[in-house]
Amino acid sequence: MTYIAKPSLHHPDLPKNAVGHTRRDYEGKISTLCAGCGHDSISASIIQACWEMNIQPHRVAKLSGIGCSSKTPDYFLGNSHGFNSVHGRMPSVLTGANLANRELLYMGVSGDGDSASIGLGQFAHCMRRGVNMVYIVENNGVYGLTKGQFSATADKGSKSKRGIINSEEPIDMVGLALQLGASFVGRSFSGDKAQLVPLIKAAIEHKGAAFIDVVSPCVAFNNHPGSTKSYDYVREHNEAVNRLDFITEREEITADYAPGTVTTVKQHDGSILRLRKLAEDYDATDRIKVMNYLQERAAEGEVVTGLLYVNPDSQDLHEHMETTSAPLNTFGARDLCPGNVMLEKINASMR
Amino acid sequence: MKPTDISNPDYFHKVVDCQHACPAHTPVPEYIRLIAEGKYSDAYMINWYSNVFPGILGRTCDRPCEPACRRGRVEENNGEKPEPVAICRLKRVAADYKDDVNPRMPKAPEKKNGKRIACLGAGPSSLTVARDLAPLGYDVTVYDRDQRAGGMIWSQIPRFRLPMEVIDEEVGYVFNLGVHFKNGVNIESLKKILDEKYDAVFVGTGAPRGRDLEIPGRKEAAKNIHIGIDWLSSVSFGHTEKIGKRVIVLGGGNTAMDCCRSSKRLGGEDVKVIVRSGFEEMKASPWEKEDAAHEGIPILNYLVPKTFVHKDGKLSGMTFEKVKAEYDAKGRRKLVPTGEPDQLFECDDVLVAVGQENSFPWIERDIGLEFDDKWGMPVVDKLTMQSTIPSVFFGGDAAFGPKNIIWAVAHGHDAAISIDKFCSGEDLQERPAPMVNLISQKMGIHEWSYDNSISNDQRYKVPLKDSKIALKNIKIEVELGFDQKLALAEAQRCLNCDAQTVFAPKLCIECDACVDICPMDCITFTPNAEEAELRTQLKAPAENTDQALYVSDILKTGRIMAKDEDVCLHCGLCAERCPTGAWDMQKFLLDMTHAGPGCRSKPQRRAA
């Protein structure tokens, strides 16, 4: 681990965004992960996305569980709210926080152990409930903190650093998320920020459960020949179905594309996703086709990346439950305790 | 772009901006680190080998290193005022706190090599030639018209900036090498010197004539009008101890600054500097202007001298025409009268410091030494310092007109190499390569043998003597110099630019860790392009084209690594976060080769 603090000096021409912050203002503490960890690139992508979207750091809550991935919220958005929960329990803590204060931006960061093993149930219910959040799984296929055993997402037939072949079937987080009703599903690679940053931006703007599976090589235990989550393997087998340009409601559309190569998806809130097609006939809004396509490509050994599925008319948990429109902390004592007359009324309505 | 050739020493030398800008190429970061460690004698000796006069230069250098210093660029938009490291004043710290360095000095060999060299003038360039050649066995004789050695170092620079002991000490180190000094000898003929059959003659006689100002009243009021450098040396000699109460100093160079500050100490109460040009365009170094301002001396600009006003043969004032600057299409400046009435400034004495000239009345024009017709300067080879008489060499102000001490030293080194090669019958045009060393600084996983933590401190000010006391006596040094604590804090501001970021493309797995950690956004992995285009497609556009891009060969993904050297902090975080050791911090040490066996045969490495 690096002993010195990252120097606060920054490039003299470092630009400021609309809310007056430089990209450096979105950083956290210096990473204590192994040098070269893919997770650090994901942190850098989150920083970049938040800066580009002019997000006020104090309007973000970042939550995580346990593991290498779950340490990372300490390394980005140093001025945001943070909660480092119990192993695998990030989704329920986040759901609670979201119900209490719907106005914050919720970012859940988890790993393959945290979400695919101990927290699989939590993950499932969070997706099906449509909690309005960005759910990032930093997926490296191994338990790095305990010296590199296979995790539940490790591909069958892949080889560990010590030469053992994995005999168990992998859990496909993307497939699960699609089945469980996530309204935004993407997959990316920590070594491809050009793809990852717009994905995170679109996920932030998306209303509902936005899930991104990010393949993130573990340099210490899973970056060798025979691994299916190494830098080299992912680069060789990466099949991006599309390239995403994320445009907020307020932005002007300036880019020009050849006709027939772009699909425009207008979301509920007015923001626009422009998908430059890389795969023929790929329709990111057709859930059944997407699930079939992913199964086919996975059987070919490809790692399909991009914005895989989006439901432009998504709803979130608050809409399902018809909750109050304001955060609970804005209510005064009179709202919360409306008195005997009101109590009588409510009781009467239930008789 | 083609991959950067880091095996060429020029590449990394250029990254060490201070060393590259120093005419003598002093290894600045190396000695600043030693100062931080409290190894003042070691720091002094590194300086002494490179620039011969660390104590003198640590007070008076023109510091070309400081405007070049990377710290000045790095601090832009990062705090109040961007300032370079106080390199010059740190040099003085090495001189102030060193132990006795006599045992470390080279000794003149008992057996001489039989070659006799004459150095004319005992200024910095001549003394450098003597310093470089005497330890090799040359029999060197230095001539000077004054009793003391040092040349302009002691005659023109006032004592309140440079005490006599410092000059005596450092001139002493040169003379202790067995150099003969013939003082009080006014050379009137180069021919006579040549007749003495020296193997080589070095001319380091400076630019000894101050320019005069021929305007009405000059003759009539001559008694109270003095030429700046003559007046300064007369003060140094002790011949002049007083000046009138109201003094006007004409000129905007460093000599003018010395004149006005000296006047303040010799009875001048109302002292002002008046310049033709604008304040910003003055030739004086910014810090010398600051020093004058600190002592309450106003500088009035855009005033062109018209007449000396006098009455009964006594100066009573000067009139000036008010002008303004206008620029033509080519950006050339012209001073045009504003039309306002002339201004009169009353005064008792005027010091004219409007420039210096060379003068060689003592060089016969029929002995084969060519002069150029335009400037009346000797024809001197810029590389070898050789004149048209093969055995006669020039250096310092005598070679190419007035410059400064550190350039004189650099000329001296070059001339000494030429003389050594000349006496060995070698080709002078073939110059020796520098001695270069590149060593990894890695000590542990995240440990380096230099302090890579970056200080956020602003530049420290050098403590000054209370001006009430300082202005009373011309011999009291104004600057007290950094104490050891301040010196350490200032030394920590140095970015260690000689700790080079060295990239090994074969080891890189393109994980982006270096890109993510770099605090200055120096590193980008990108498709290759021509330099102009590449500069625009980096993480932070590389707009400073004086600074190089470090470009790697093609990597696995078909991209290249491009690093903009401009504002790199040399913090080593790229190397710390690199999982494969593709980045390494390596100390680049470049020592200029001086006269001696190294400049003749293959370069030899000096033991570190």
For B116-208+358-423, which CATH superfamily applies? FAD/NAD(P)-binding domain (3.50.50.60)
Supply the ipTM of this predicted assembly: 0.90
Which residues of chain A make contact with B557, given a CB cutoff of 8 A? 235
Pick from A3, A12, A223: CB nearest B77: A12
Average pLDDT score over residue span B131-153: 96
Q: Give the residue extent of every domain in chain B.
A: 116-208+358-423, 210-355
Shortest CA distance from A44: residue in chain B: B516
Reply yes or no on domain B210-355 having CATH 2.40.40.20. Answer: no
At B592, the pLDDT band (50, 70, 90 cuts) reads very high
Average pLDDT score over residue span B69-93: 95
Cβ atoms of A199 and A244 closer than 8 Å: yes
Is B520 in the A-facing interface, judged by CB distances under 8 Å?
yes
Is A351 in the B-facing interface, judged by CB distances under 8 Å?
no
Which residues of chain B make contact with A38, given a CB cutoff of 8 A? 511
Is B512 in the A-facing interface, judged by CB distances under 8 Å?
yes
Shortest CA distance from A46: residue in chain B: B516
Is B513 in the A-facing interface, judged by CB distances under 8 Å?
yes
For the whole model, what pTM was predicted? Answer: 0.90
How far does the CA of residue B509 sit from the closest CA of chain A (Å)? Answer: 7
Output the tens digit of pLDDT for each of chain A's 351 residues: 678 889 999 999 999 999 999 999 999 999 999 999 999 999 999 999 999 999 999 999 999 999 999 999 999 999 999 999 999 999 999 999 999 999 999 999 999 999 999 999 999 999 999 999 999 999 999 999 999 999 999 999 999 999 999 999 999 999 999 999 999 999 999 999 999 999 999 999 999 999 999 999 999 999 999 999 999 999 999 988 888 877 766 565 555 555 556 777 777 677 777 777 777 778 899 999 999 999 998 888 889 999 999 998 999 999 999 999 999 999 999 888 999 999 999 999 998
Summarised one tens digit per residue, pLDDT across range B25-39 is 999 999 999 999 999
Is B577 in the A-facing interface, judged by CB distances under 8 Å?
yes
- Secondary structure class of B531 (helix, strand, coil): helix
Which residues of chain B make contact with A223, given a CB cutoff of 8 A? 509
Summarised one tens digit per residue, pLDDT across range B540-560 is 999 999 999 999 999 999 999
How far does the CA of residue B557 sit from the closest CA of chain A (Å)? Answer: 8
Extended beta strands in B195-302, E state: 200-203, 209-210, 225-227, 246-250, 270-274, 299-300
Q: What is the 3 state secondary structure string of chain A? A: CCCCCCCCCCCCCCCECCCCCEHHHHECCCCCCCCCCHHHHHHHHHHHHHHHCCCCHHHEEEEECCCHHHHHHHHECCCCEEEECCCCCHHHHHHHHHHHCCCCEEEEEEEHHHHHHHCHHHHHHHHHHCCCEEEEEEECCEECCCCCEECCCCCCCCECCCCCECCCCCCCHHHHHHHHCCCEEEEEECCCHHHHHHHHHHHHHCCCEEEEEEECCCCCCCCCCCCCCCHHHHHHHEEECEEEEEECCCCCCCCCCCCCCEEEEECCCCCEEEEEECCCCCCCCCHHHHHHHHHHHHHCCCEEEEEEEECCCCCCHHHHHCCCCCCHHHCCHHHHCCCHHHHHHHHHHHC
Tokens 């209510």 map to which residue? A331
At B608, the pLDDT band (50, 70, 90 cuts) reads very low
Is B457 in the A-facing interface, judged by CB distances under 8 Å?
no
Instruction: Identify the pLDDT of residue A255.
Output: 54
Surface of A (284-323) touching B: CB under 8 A: none
Is A193 in the B-facing interface, judged by CB distances under 8 Å?
yes
Exposed, middle or buried by CB within 10 Å (0-12, 13-18, 19+), for A298?
middle
Extended beta strands in B111-224, E state: 116-120, 139-143, 180-182, 200-203, 209-210
Task: For residue B1, give the H/E element and its range.
Answer: none
Shortest CA distance from B568: residue in chain A: A11
- CA A84-A89-A90 angle, to 5 degrees, is 50
- Asked if B78 and A10 come within 8 Å (Cβ–Cβ), the reply is yes
- The more confidently predicted of residues B603 and B357 is B357
- Asked if A14 and B540 come within 8 Å (Cβ–Cβ), the reply is yes
Instruction: Please tell me the least confidently modeled range out of B207-211, B224-228, B243-247.
Output: B207-211
Average confidence score pLDDT of chain B: 94
Is B553 in the A-facing interface, judged by CB distances under 8 Å?
no
Q: Give the residue extent of every domain in chain A.
A: 23-321
Cβ atoms of B24 and B409 closer than 8 Å: yes
Shortest CA distance from A47: residue in chain B: B516
Instruction: Identify the pLDDT of residue B561.
Output: 97
Which residues of chain B make contact with A12, given a CB cutoff of 8 A? 73-74, 76-78, 567
Pick from B453, B511, B576: CB nearest A38: B511
Shortest CA distance from B522: residue in chain A: A11
Which residues of chain A make contact with B74, given a CB cutoff of 8 A? 9, 12
Q: Which tokens hold the place of A101?
A: 């204060």
- Asked if A35 and B76 come within 8 Å (Cβ–Cβ), the reply is no
**Which residue out of A6, A9, A26 would a mutagenesis test of the B interface target, given it has the greatest number of B Cβ atoms within 10 Å?**
A9
Shortest CA distance from B518: residue in chain A: A6
Is B527 in the A-facing interface, judged by CB distances under 8 Å?
no
CATH topology match: B116-208+358-423 vs B210-355: yes
Instruction: Identify the pLDDT of residue A251.
Output: 60
CATH number for A23-321: choose from 3.40.50.720, 1.10.3720.10, 3.40.50.12280, 3.40.50.970. Answer: 3.40.50.970
Summarised one tens digit per residue, pLDDT across range B233-272 is 999 999 999 999 999 999 999 999 999 999 999 999 999 9
Single-letter amino acid code for the residue at B66 = E
Instruction: Identify the pLDDT of residue A257.
Output: 58
Instruction: For residue A239, give every residue at least 6 positions away whose Cβ sits within 8 Å of its Cβ, in sequence order, or none.
Output: A279, A297, A302, A303, A304, A305
Determine phi and psi for A29, rounding to 5 degrees. -70, 165
pLDDT over 50 (residue B604): no
Single-letter amino acid code for the residue at A345 = K
- Asked if B509 and A223 come within 8 Å (Cβ–Cβ), the reply is yes
- Longest distance between any two alpha carbons in chain A, whole Å: 72
Is A28 in the B-facing interface, judged by CB distances under 8 Å?
no
Q: A16-33 as b/e, with b when 16 or more CB fall inside 10 Å?
A: ebeeebebbbbbbebbeb
Which residues of chain B make contact with A34, given a CB cutoff of 8 A? 579
Alpha-carbon distance of B567 to A51, in angstroms, equals 22
At B353, the pLDDT band (50, 70, 90 cuts) reads very high
Which residues of chain A make contact with B511, given a CB cutoff of 8 A? 36-38, 41, 191, 217, 219, 231
Summarised one tens digit per residue, pLDDT across range A87-135 is 999 999 999 999 999 999 999 999 999 999 999 999 999 999 999 999 9
Q: Which tokens hold the place of B285?
A: 């170094």
- Asked if A191 and B511 come within 8 Å (Cβ–Cβ), the reply is yes
